[in-house]
Chain A
């Protein structure tokens, strides 16, 4: 596994040395900051209205449903757009540049290469996600006290959905040497898994259940509200595992006999 970590570190190092990654960071923090500000502002407005108008229907108004859950949902949409941009380089660029051939010539297993790439991308995603927790610490300053457990659950959910995005993005990247194609198809597939649950209500009950079970949003929603359901966690772990396995198969194709 030491070799996988070396690959992960190289990928992180490579991104940290690229200007485009900092542009991506700036964009992400700018937009996520705006999301947090708008959620907090809306919540403040609703709280103010509730305080000044006792007849207003504000039952169930709390920081989790009013701020944390919508903020994390918005963040996941942002990641849906940005993760394919990060993953497009993982295999496509190395294939195009020929460095993947070099990597395969070293005494490293294909599994270690896939895990190394995954860990590297996950670490980069952490660079995006973890600093957003500061927003909630700042919220504390203005009196918005979030339960630590709910926050942890929400962020665990965000990291799980991010790992799913990364695994799918890596799989697409392993299929092509064109980065733009990789990002485009990666985004389209993620979007498909994002919206697949929407058609559940119009389908037959059996098919609707399948669609709902495949939907990333359906499994993510409860996690954003502090509910750690093993079914949701299991779904994301299986989703990630499946696409990592698909990536492994995709790069092993070259060693097939026929």
Chain B
């Protein structure tokens, strides 16, 4: 389990992180989001003991860096941003080197290397030089070095950065398979990927934790209104008039027009459940109701809502949820 308690980190006058608190339970897979300069990499570097916090405490399975830095590092596998590797080494010699540094006994070294090679599907390139391999393979090697020694926690900084779509899918699949046996914290700019991979997200902005929770939770907290999309067929102008008069409807926006079919975004009061009323009104008026479905926010919407200037107000509202 990762426990971050009131952690701040300053570099001179620059406050990279400010009073950040969160917990990640054993076996969870959590996404760390934030715009550039939000403090994501600093947070990851603190968790791997590369940096020390200016104040606050980080506990990895109850162990702090000050108490046992080596033990703490031994429990964390880290894939840094840009995946730095020794390009002049072969994959096998690099993994053997990492195994030595992680203190894997010589008798178990070969087996451990083969195990991670199988997991990451790099068995076919073990004798090749890392610098000559494709970015996808290099990313797998980065993951393999993080997995060596079977650390309980994996910290992955932009694991799919710079990969082509095929490679992204492969790496995503690999991370998901690892989630069964590891606690994973990953940062990514690809928000759909985070939504697909992670159970929970932490959103950092200007060094502060501005939101945390599942995407559905965040959406629920941020949405001030109830939105759904209806698809109609019939006389538009009359249909619009009918809909506007349904009690609880606040706004009606035409989204798409496809011949006789129109898609409207209906905004209603948050607490009111008016879908049934809207449907009845439409049918009673003789229109064809082709579809009625709730409008879901994607992670980009949530992220932007929090991060943009509009989100500044929400930040204040959400601070009570974050802590």
Contacts and interface: CB of A to CB of B under 8 A. Distances in A.
Interface of A: 2-3, 6-7, 10, 13-14, 17-18, 97-99, 101-109, 254-258
Contacts of A102: 78, 80, 84-85, 145
User: Closest 4 interchain pairs by CB?
Assistant: A98-B84, A6-B100, A105-B78, A107-B74
Interface stretch (B49-57, B184-192, B193-201): B49-57
Q: Is the interface of A mostly helix, strand, loop or mixed?
A: helix
Contact of A108 (B85, B89, B101): B101
Contacts of A105: 48-50, 73, 76, 78, 80
B176 interface: no
Contacts of A6: 97, 100-101
B70 A107 contact: yes
Nearest to B81: A98
Contacts of B88: 14, 17-18
B288 to A, nearest CB: 60
A104 B10 CA distance: 20
Given A13-B93, A99-B86, A101-B80, A255 B51 contact: yes
A107 B50 contact: no
B244 interface: no
Nearest to B76: A105
Contacts of A106: 73, 98, 101-102
Given A2-B100, A102-B85, 16 more contacts: A3-B101, A7-B101, A10-B86, A10-B89, A14-B86, A14-B89, A105-B49, A106-B73, A106-B98, A107-B74, A108-B70, A108-B101, A109-B69, A254-B50, A255-B51, A257-B52
Nearest to B73: A107
9 contacts: A6-B101, A14-B86, A98-B81, A105-B73, A105-B76, A105-B78, A106-B101, A108-B70, A257-B52
B71 interface: yes
B82 A107 contact: no
Interface residues of B, number: 33
A195 to B, nearest CB: 37
A108 B80 CA distance: 17
Contact of A257 (B54, B73, B81, B101): B54
A257 B52 CA distance: 6
B102 A101 contact: no
A3 B71 CA distance: 15
B222 to A, nearest CB: 35
B172 interface: no
A258 B81 CA distance: 24
B45 to A, nearest CB: 7
A98 B98 contact: no
A109 B85 CA distance: 20
Contacts of A257: 52-55
Contacts of B89: 10, 13-14
B93 A107 contact: no
Given A98-B84, A99-B86, A258-B54, A107 B102 contact: yes
Nearest to A258: B54
B84 A3 contact: no
A107 B148 CA distance: 12
B247 interface: no
A13 B96 CA distance: 13
Given A101-B50, A101-B84, A102-B145, A10 B73 contact: no
A56 to B, nearest CB: 57
A103 B78 CA distance: 10
Nearest to B47: A105
B162 interface: no
A119 to B, nearest CB: 14
